[in-house]
Structure formats: C-alpha cells, structure tokens
Structure 1
C-alpha cells in the first residue's frame, strides 16, 4: 500500500475537521512550521474571503483549500507569531478576530493527572469556563470532560451557536477537551455541542462546571469570573475555625428562598438574594436563630423539585440574581452573626436533556445499568461513585461551596439512598456488592473521603447527614470507623415526637414511650432534631394542623412542642412558617402566611420561639453536652397516666443546669411535686402557658424555692403548678 504524503494526510485531517470528527483540530489549524516558513490555516465555513493580520503588520490573503478551510503560507518565517484573521462573509460583512487555534493549551499535565486520579481538590479552577489572559490575550479558557465523544465544540453568543467554528482539542487519554477562545468575555452565554462517539449524534449540554446560568427555563451556561466579589466576613470566618461545633448552640431556621417572603405588589415575585440578605438577617436576629439552612440553591430546571434535582452543581440559581448577589447574602448574614448551611444533593440528578445525564452520549456521571444508575422514587439518575472523575466532581463541588461561597455547612440530602444498594428497590431490581451485601461500598468510601477533606480544609464547617436508618457511627470520625459527618438528622425522634403530639391527650398515656424512647439512643450520634419541610407538605398537614383539639389547644400544643424540642438533647432545626403557627401546608409557589402575625395568638407563638432561642443560647446546659449522657438526667420518665415528663439538662460547666417539666394533658396540675438537683431558689425561665404567648397565664409567678425533701432521685424538690399543655424551664437563681 502506498504511504500517504504529508499533503494527503493533511487533506484527510482537514476533511475530518469539516465533518466535525477530528479530536485534535490544533494539529492542522492555527499556525505551524512548514518547510522554510510558516503556514496558517483556519476553518470558517460560509466565508468568501479571509486575510491574516499579523501583529508585526501587513495584510496577507488566504486561499480556500477545502470547504471553508483557508490557508496562507509565509516563506522565510521561522517562528510563530500572533495574528488576527479578517473574515468576510456574503454581503461584505467583515469580522476581525483572534484565531483560537494559535494558542497552546491552558491545562497542564498535572491537572490532567490529578483529575484522572480523582484527586484534584480545586477542579473547578481548571474545568468549565474561565476568563483569563493567555499569551497576552484576554479570552475564556473552556474545558469539559466527555471521554467517548467524537468531537466537542463550544457554541454560544460569540459564534451564533455554530458548532463548526470552535471545536475543542482532546487532551490525551484524560477524556478532557480544551479550547481557549480569545476576546470572549464575562456574561457570554454558551453550551457544549457534543458529537457522540456512536452514531455521531449532536447533543447540546450545559457546562457541568458553569458558575452561572440563565434564568430557568432557559438552560445556557454563562461565563462568570469568581474573582470580583470582596468579602468582609473575615472576623466570622476566623472565629468559626476555632470553635468546637458540638459545644455550640445550633438553632437552625430552614428556608425555601422562593417562598419565604414574596413581593405582592410586584407580581408576587420572590425576593432577590440582596433583598433577602437584609430581610432574612433582620428576621433571624429578631427570632434568635443561630443559623439558616437554605434548601438547595444550586441551579435546577424544575422549581417544583425545590432544588433537589440539580442541573448545575457549581451555579447558584439565577432565579434570585447574580452569583455575587448570593455571595452578598452569605457575607451579610455572617456580618450579622448568622451561619449559613446549604442543602446539597450528591446522590442523584435529573434526566433533563441539557444536564449531566448521558453527557457524552453514554452513561458518564451515572451507572449504565439501571439497577444501579436509576433512582425509582424520583425518576432520576444515580451518580457512579466508583468512577474517579465522578467522585472528584462531587468532592470538589462540596469544597467549592466552602471555598468560594464561605458556607458554614452542607446538609447532605438522602444519605440512606446512597448507603444502600437496595434503597427503594424490590428483589431483583438491585445488584449486591462483591460480598453479596446491600451496602454501597463505593458511596461509603466517597462519603468518608469527602468528610475527611472538609474537616481538614475547613475547620469549624460542618457536614450534616439526612440519614433515616440505623446505620452506625454516621457522625463519628472515619478514624473511629464512622462516616465522618459532624451531625445526623434524628429522623426517628422527629417521627416519634410528631406522632405523640398529634394524639388527643386522652390517648397520650398509651404513647408515652414515643417521647422517652429517643433517650435510649440520644448519645449514640451527634444529633440534630429536625422539624423539616418534608413534614408539612403532600397532605401531612402543617405543624399547627397536626396538633389535636380546638384552636386554643392547637396553639398550646405547638408551643409545648417547641419548648420540649429545644430542651431535648440535640441541635435544632425548624422549617419556616412553623414559628407562625401556620394552619396551612407549605406551598412552594406562595409566601408563608405572614398575615397571621396580625393576630396576637399567632404573634405569641413567634414571640415564644424568639424567647426560646435567646434562652437556649444563653444557657450552656441546653447545648454544650448534647451528645454526652452526663448532659441529661430523667426526673420523671414514667408519669404516663398524668402525661407529665420531667428531666434536667446539665452543662459541662460546674453547677449549670436547667430543669424541664412538661404537662402534656389539657388540665392543670396543682400541687405537683418534682425533684430538683439542689436546695434553693430557681427562676422560672420559660412558661409556654404565659398569657404573653397566648396561654392561660397559669404558672409559678416567675420563681420557686425548693425544699430539702428528696424526690425523683434528687436531694431537693418543689411543689409546682403545671399549666395545661405546657412546658416549664427552671434554672438556679
């Protein structure tokens, strides 16, 4: 067989360029040595004439060599040089631009190596779209992972979305494609046009690493520079790094940004990030919460998913403003002394055609086998945690939110769905692990690696698991055989407590153990007690609606629930609207019912929550030994017939304690004796039946004096008035 000449080889490659199936277009396009000179080639389909404009001067015509490929030879030139191309289209339309194929790669060998190993902890700084100066020219460096693609192009506003004009180069065996496009700037819309390896089908994908997107339902990525925002939360960040998170008070207000507060007079629109910064911080200071947890903010195509089906993991949703507006929100909250937790969804992702699914025409981020790669409950794809690049994508994403947005914690959604291979699957619908078991070893390794890296890089930041099973040591360090989370949502406590409080008091004595059982395991993990959004939608009724009795009793029960929860071991989380005593379920398309505050009985519930939070924060006994048995002691766990429970919370600080007494029957208990840890005076810190909260006003006139009569295993006791459907707190004083 006759060996092809260099000219024939180049012709063959140029034909591949024209057909969009060349993986290394820089090899033939751009500027190259050619004999005793240099040759410049460019591909501009539809052009009628092109000239080279070298930076050293002159105007050199190019000849059309093949179907839109133009070429010019400069004899006597031995070194490459910078140049522009002047392109003329029919109708005398002329454009002058830099040739992207005249630039060296913007990715280095070490980037490719660590990405392939799954160990590039700052992967977002290299992948995606980055405004840079390259070889003295401003532009955008693009990079995307699409290992089985036949070719990949960048398309956008700058090239009329024409995939022929900016094909990328494949970076060896890494599966990463790269292209520097000069004179493209911030704010430019773009996508990746991928020609699949099998069949050469054309698919358009948003950038998995995009820092900014269009406002949904539009799906284009937008070039964004992360380096503009000036943070002013240094004092907060420095203090955070020195704190033991388990010894701090955590009272978290869970918020859905689109429906917390809306602007009725402006089409009932949601608040922007910047509007939210001031309104939310003022409200949290008023109500005393230490932290806010934002339901998923990462861009998502369907608003009705509440953010739990993420399309763009590195971009705050554009629904409420610019990415730097979201930074403003976080920064302002920090300046006001409020921490920010973000819901994060690494378990699954949606099937929308522009997103991660079948990204290069194959199962790339997900498993190919639906028994591993599909989540039947949500109709989504499941991440392939065993693939280095996928694991790196997710771990880098978690680090990205801490690094670039100064977040104080990530609440990891649906951990159970990642831990178990048979989660929500019937027999035969899942694949056992190598030992024949149901544990997802790859996901477990992913979570441990993730949590170790967060702990090492961001002291004081927290990882919180929404995990609903009895998996052991979720919140213990990996060095002790745990998963490495800082906290675990106590779903069992939530379900048992809500079941108890939903019962008519006449039946509560038969469900007494639903309030006491949780103390058998309360110190096995570092728990957070949630009353979350999931409990107030889809026909479950609001917290207020779950309470039995007439409106007065509903409010009294709700007040008692909050005081019981805040005295119970574990950090706290309350979904928005609960503090208003909102009768209706949460609706993600409308504001919570702020008008209820016009009624003093509902304003009283909000006032109670504010007072509870302030008392909680000022009494270490209520938080600094949450995960230690020494921090809790039962006084009366067995008074089921009277619906009374009593316990003492103890601080790690000597002598500090708070006594909590709950009367969860609708009748007052007069002359009721309860044991106290010491003889002397006690202040009635809290009485949920106070008339200021909308109660009946029964109580103990603000203070008591115990007698040296042993009771409930204590050296002293007091005879008290226990108001109906109430919780009382006492502390020495």
Structure 2
C-alpha cells in the first residue's frame, strides 16, 4: 500500500500541484502590484510638481515592463541522463539524483529499480514522488532549501525507510586523492575499498575503487540483490577513483563492483582492496572492520633492538592449511606457537596467506592481496594467531607475492576493460612459466597498490617480515623468455628498471614505517646488491635493492647436490660444500630448505640421502648440524624436523603418525626432532653462530680440503672472539684420533652437540671427556686436538 500523509482528506500529489499553483499566483500578484505602484495619477503628478523645485524636464523614459514569471522546473530527469543511468555509464549520478534547488522549490529525483512508489519524508512532510517509469521517481516540493530527509520505498511485499545515498558529499578527502594521484598513499587501504564509517552523521559504508578506463561503475551486493543498476558510483575527476557512500550498509555484507567497459560490455569484479572475502570457490568481497585487541606491545617494542642479520634467526616454514588439516586460525593458535616454541625456532614463515582461488597454488597465485584467506577464518582470527605467536616470543614472517597474479575474470586481469594492473605490452604482461600476468611496476598507481600492501601486512597484522617471492622473475626482462620475446630497457640492457625502482621503494617504505621488520628476497641469480642499501650504488650502476636478507639458493643447490651422492663419490664433489664461502659475505643470507625442495619428485630431505634407512637418517642429522653451523640464518620446512620420508602434500600435510610411540618413533623420527630442538637451543645461546653471520671475522676454516676424508672443519666466532668448532664427517666410517688445528688460546674444548648420540638415533660414538689441545702445530695453527669423528655425523665443540 502506498504510504499516505497524516490528513485523511489530502493527497500528496494534489498537495504538490496545489503548492505549485500557489507559487505561480503569488508571483503574478507581486508583479502586478509592483507595476501598479509605478503608475501615477494626474493629481499626484500636480502635487509633486508644486513641491519640487523647477528644473528641466527629464528625458522621456520607456514604460516599465513587468518581470517575467519563471515557471517551476520539471523535476523529471531528461532522456540523456536516464539513458546513462540505465546503461550504467553515468560519471556523476549525484549531480542529477537526490535533492537539488530549482526554480519553484526543491526537485527530488530517485532511481530505485523495481520500486512501486517512493515518498520523501522530511519532518511532517510526506511527498509521494511521481513514477517516471524504469525505476525513476521525481517530484517538485515548494521548499526554500534542501531539508534533512529520508525515503520511504515501497516494493512488492515490503516497505523500506532509508537514507538517500545521493544526498551525501564525497566521503573521500582531497588529501587522499592527491596522494593516490601521486602514487604515494602509504595507507591506501584506508582510502580505497569498503570502509564502514559514519559520514555526515549517518552510518554506512564508503565504497571506492580505482577504475580509470571504466565508463561507469556501480556497487552490487546482497543489499541490492546483486543488481548494481540503482547504485551507480561517481567519478572523482582525473584520479580514476569512483566513490559511493551507501547508508545503512555495514559489516558482513557481500559486494562486488559492476564495471561498464569502454565498449559498453559489463563485468562484475571483486574489490582489489577487499580486506575480507568469501571462502573459495566463492569470490565475493565482504565489508569488514577489525575489532581485534592486540596484546603484543612488549614484542613490538623489543623486536627492533637488533637487526635481523645480527640476531639469531631460525625459521620454521609452515603451510597453515595443511600443518594439521582442518584447523582454523584460532585452533592453530592453540597448537602451532607452542610447538614452534618447544622446538626452539625464533620465527615461523607462513606460505602465502593472502586470498587465492586455487588451493593447489599454495597461495602463490593471489587474487585478494589485502585479505587473509577465508579458508581458515576471518581477518581478526588471523590477527589472533599472529598475536599468539608474539606472546610466545616467536616472530612471524609471511610470503608475499608481488610478481604476478592469475587471469581470473572476476579479479585483477583487465580490471576495467583494459590492462590496468598488468602491463599494456603483452611481452611484458604475460608470465611464460606460470600462465599468469605480471604487474606493471612502472605505473605509479600499481606501484602504490603493492607498496601499500607490504605496509598493510606489517602495520595491520603486525607481521615481522616479508619473504618476497620470485624476485628474479621481476628483475629481468628476459626471464624465461627467448630472443624476440622481450624488449631491452632504455639502456639496451635486460634489467627491468621499473621493477628495480619498485623493490627499492617498497623496502625503503617498509623499513621507514615499521621499525624492526625484515624483508627477505627469494632471488636465485647473482644480482648485485640485493641486501645493499638503496642509496649505495654498486659496481653495476644500480643502487641496492634494500632487502634485509636473501635466500642463498646457491648454497641450497650445491649442498643438497653433495649429500645426495654416495659417500664414495663425495670426494669428487667436495667443492660443492665449500664454494659457498667464496661468496658468503656478498649478501646477508638465509640458508633455505624450503617446501620447494621436498615436492614434485624432489623427495623429502631424509629421502634425498643415499644408503639404507640408518644411513639416510644419519646423513640427514649431519647435514642439519652442518647447516646450523654455516654462516647464515636457517629455514626448515615443516615435516623435515622429524625426517618425514614422504614428499609434502598440501592435501594431508606432515605425517604426524610417524611420531607415534607405537611406531617405534623414538629411534627414527623423534630422535631427529630432538636434534632439531637441541640445535636451536645451542644456536640461540651461542652468539658465535649468528652474531657475525655477515662478516668474514665470524668464520675461519680449520680444514676445507679434506676431500678424501669427506671432512669439513671450521670455527665460528662472536664479536668477542669466542669460538665454536664445527666438524662434519660425511663418510660412513669412524675416524679415530682425527687431528685438527685449533687456536692456542682455548685451554679445554667440550663437546656441545653430537648428531650421533643415541637419543637422536645414532650409534653413540662421542667425545665424552674434555679435549685439551696439544702443542703440535697442525693446519697452520700452533696447537691441535684429536677427536673421534662419528660416521655420517657433525660434532660441535666449545671452550669448556
């Protein structure tokens, strides 16, 4: 039923028409009165002449004309505006919809598809608007100024009282627009996307999106039955930003942007800045506001005390969805931090958390760069997990993927009908290996999108560091491309200068804004200066990229190649274990045994080792201790800490059943896990193993050329010169009375760790007694010691 005004004998339409006639009559009467006042009778003229002094007769004036009567304006939209709104191509819907002063009063225009009637409510006024067809309603109300008003909208079966979305000023400020235009909005997520807020005293949600090539943009969602026709957004000038404040819309609403392309075709897109999404395979964005209260102030205050390259960093890499399949973020928070803390790791590194449509990509093909995956819970649930890590004293690193994005037609690809986030040149946009699209790092808005995204995870989620994926694919124009498939840069080189500038800006911005974080590059080439400061020009003519750490892919490849050989052949590959020291101080390195090394037919870490099961486990243990003693930080993927024999599968995760006591795991798998725990404990309490990781002063070879013996021995030193001696024997024989040169400043050495002890699953060949140096020069040193070297084992010794 159409709502009626309080008086039973009045009709709103008749009232509006009657008021318009009154305005017209009053105007005509005023004109007549004014004209009459100007007429003078002969008596009046004579009286005036007698009083006035004599003077020349004035020039004859033209008779006064009555002022024209301005008829009331028609409130209905013209055909042009109607067509543009119906076709979703209007750039300024607020300029024609809503309430606007016109001759004769205030014109109200409303666009409500499927509505039966619309009534304006303003105080005691109830004015039903005329149905102009196609969802348009209009009316002229004889008011002097626009009142505070609401709309009563009648649909079939329901009546809704609501604010008019088109009576509001833009909810995005000029400073935001200026910073976006400059590509320097470092908190871009506060300006774009869906932001619940109170605007002009009304609660609702501000929707904003960058779509400079669109002819029109609308908001579609659950609140309008996914028909965005009646919710067109306005273009905010040359910024390319479209904006609409929708009153009454709050958290939890699903939405997308309905975009009209230049050719008139339509596309429905998820919000690139969405902070929450539906659970895949559903793809809608969700209006979100965070309510998490952090409890990690102490952690944040202390994390900046020591730079990462001078601190102990031992990383447990985790794929959250498969660590224990089925657990949510909050359930993981009850188990994972405690597990990591028990094993002594200083950090976790989470494989990509940002939303991605295909679980089999492990998160490396991102569609929702600002939203944690909804598979495991809400954004606040993820914050709860990070908070739990921090309260357990564990830092949180996160894989970040700015190199590329998938081609899904509801996401970023040709977002507004043309290449926008990707490069316009197909040779620069299509990634040849992964079937994805590469970002256009030279476009300031795209660069801003990514730089702000890095800041977002660190500021909003308290992430302690970003491991940046596939850096090499960004740095080189010819990456995985044949001649003719790439174009040299302006200097004729193959370096992607736009990507270099982007990485420098990202690192500089993150380090400036978020003290204590670290950025880590997965960079597989010999690019000069990955971890050099951005303002320091290197031999290649480029400033440093500004990363804090870099994955040492060369060490990983060479060392794994060495241990996969049969011991009898290792002497021919001895240099593969020593070559890393040639370049160990060219960058600040992390030694990664990551997920990439235990999938796709590469076998798990223990299964790479040759020999029987005992030899495999022994070599695995010796390799881990060698790795923990080598200069650089450590990273180990989940499941490898207990010598899982099978490759990792994201479908079922680690084989936790291997640790079941009923399986006899004490000798097999629990022993390796106990070793990893002890490695971390000794490591964290021995500055020689981490304090000078990036300085030649922290390392000395004792013997690096014992190829026939398969033996490596070296010293690690802290800033005070306190040493740790690491000796690895990668042959399956016991070496008795093995002599090694040592500093004469140490009176007694004590075996701190031995990977062959029985509790780790070894044969208990140890050096239980204190070891005193002899005055026998050896290996170029004035003193020496003799040790028993267990088979396939690593031994650590420290001054007693």
Q: TM-score range by the shorter chain?
A: over 0.9
Alignment match of 1:128 (pick from 193, 215, 223): 193
Distance 1:219 1:702 in 2: 65
Note if 1:65 corresponds to 2:126. no
Moved more, 701-710 or 716-725: 701-710
Alignment match of 1:44 (pick from 112, 117, 126): 112
Show the counterpart of 2:276.
212
- Pairs within 5 Å for 1:296-695: 296-480=352-536, 481-598=543-660, 599-600=665-666, 601-652=668-719, 654-678=720-744, 679-695=746-762
Is the contact made by 1:82 and 1:102 (CA closer than 8 Å) also made in structure 2? no
Q: 1:428 to 1:323 in 2, by over 3 A?
A: same
SS at match of 1:695: coil
Show the counterpart of 2:56.
none
Q: 1:57 to 1:240 in 2, by over 3 A?
A: farther
Is the contact made by 2:75 and 2:109 (CA closer than 8 Å) also made in structure 1? no
Post-superposition Cα deviations, 1:46-86, rounded to whole Å, max 9, x if no partner, equal 222111112x23321001234221112221322x3332211
Note if 1:257 corresponds to 2:320. yes
Deviation at 1:657, TM superposition (A): 1.1
Distance 2:76 2:640 in 1: 74
Is the contact made by 1:473 and 1:525 (CA closer than 8 Å) also made in structure 2? yes
SS at match of 1:164: helix
Q: 1:732 to 1:563 in 2, by over 3 A?
A: same
Q: 1:702 to 1:393 in 2, by over 3 A?
A: farther
Distance 1:77 1:640 in 2: 97
Distance 2:623 2:568 in 1: 17
How many residues are aligned here?
716
Distance 1:530 1:36 in 2: 76
Note if 1:245 corresponds to 2:313. no
Show the counterpart of 2:230.
165
Q: 1:688 to 1:6 in 2, by over 3 A?
A: same
SS at match of 2:228: coil
Post-superposition Cα deviations, 1:643-697, rounded to whole Å, max 9, x if no partner, equal 0110000001x23110000111000100110112234111101100001100000
Moved more, 590-599 or 489-498: 590-599
- Pairs within 5 Å for 1:101-112: 101-112=166-177
Q: 1:73 to 1:419 in 2, by over 3 A?
A: same
Deviation at 1:274, TM superposition (A): 0.7
Distance 2:142 2:790 in 1: 99
Show the counterpart of 2:64.
none
Deviation at 1:7, TM superposition (A): 7.9
Post-superposition Cα deviations, 1:437-470, rounded to whole Å, max 9, x if no partner, equal 1100000000001111111111210000000000
Distance 1:430 1:277 in 2: 46
SS at match of 2:741: strand
Distance 2:245 2:306 in 1: 43
Moved more, 382-391 or 101-110: 101-110
Deviation at 1:212, TM superposition (A): 0.3
- Pairs within 5 Å for 1:217-236: 217-226=281-290, 228-236=291-299
Show the counterpart of 1:284.
340
Distance 2:384 2:135 in 1: 48
Q: 1:157 to 1:666 in 2, by over 3 A?
A: same
Distance 2:489 2:415 in 1: 26
Is the contact made by 1:10 and 1:28 (CA closer than 8 Å) also made in structure 2? no
Unaligned runs of 5+ in 2: 1-72, 537-542
Distance 1:405 1:593 in 2: 30
Distance 1:552 1:393 in 2: 52
Post-superposition Cα deviations, 1:175-206, rounded to whole Å, max 9, x if no partner, equal 11000000001011100111111x21111100
Alignment match of 2:94 (pick from 26, 36, 44): 26
Show the counterpart of 2:14.
none
Deviation at 1:369, TM superposition (A): 1.9
Distance 1:372 1:522 in 2: 33
SS at match of 2:694: coil
SS at match of 2:731: coil
Deviation at 1:41, TM superposition (A): 0.8
Is the contact made by 2:98 and 2:167 (CA closer than 8 Å) also made in structure 1? yes
Is the contact made by 1:14 and 1:66 (CA closer than 8 Å) also made in structure 2? no
Distance 2:361 2:521 in 1: 20
Is the contact made by 1:277 and 1:332 (CA closer than 8 Å) also made in structure 2? yes
Post-superposition Cα deviations, 1:543-597, rounded to whole Å, max 9, x if no partner, equal 0110010000000000001000000000110011111101110101102011111
Is the contact made by 2:77 and 2:96 (CA closer than 8 Å) also made in structure 1? no
SS at match of 1:101: helix
Moved more, 314-323 or 362-371: 362-371
Distance 1:119 1:194 in 2: 25
Deviation at 1:166, TM superposition (A): 0.6
Distance 1:174 1:6 in 2: 33
Post-superposition Cα deviations, 1:332-356, rounded to whole Å, max 9, x if no partner, equal 1001100000000000000111111
Post-superposition Cα deviations, 1:533-552, rounded to whole Å, max 9, x if no partner, equal 00111111110110010000
Distance 1:182 1:7 in 2: 24
Is the contact made by 2:104 and 2:140 (CA closer than 8 Å) also made in structure 1? no
Show the counterpart of 1:265.
none
Distance 1:356 1:677 in 2: 61
Post-superposition Cα deviations, 1:256-280, rounded to whole Å, max 9, x if no partner, equal 0111113xxxxxxx21101111211
Distance 2:343 2:770 in 1: 25
Distance 1:413 1:657 in 2: 35
Is the contact made by 2:219 and 2:232 (CA closer than 8 Å) also made in structure 1? yes
Distance 2:773 2:603 in 1: 42
Deviation at 1:6, TM superposition (A): 9.0
Distance 2:585 2:450 in 1: 30
Is the contact made by 2:76 and 2:137 (CA closer than 8 Å) also made in structure 1? no
Distance 2:444 2:148 in 1: 38
Moved more, 655-664 or 614-623: 655-664
Unaligned runs of 5+ in 1: 263-269
SS at match of 2:708: helix
Is the contact made by 2:755 and 2:794 (CA closer than 8 Å) also made in structure 1? yes
Deviation at 1:702, TM superposition (A): 5.1
Post-superposition Cα deviations, 1:211-250, rounded to whole Å, max 9, x if no partner, equal 0000000000000013x11101000000012222221000
TM-score normalised per structure 1: 0.96
Distance 1:674 1:94 in 2: 90
Note if 1:117 corresponds to 2:191. no
Distance 2:229 2:238 in 1: 23
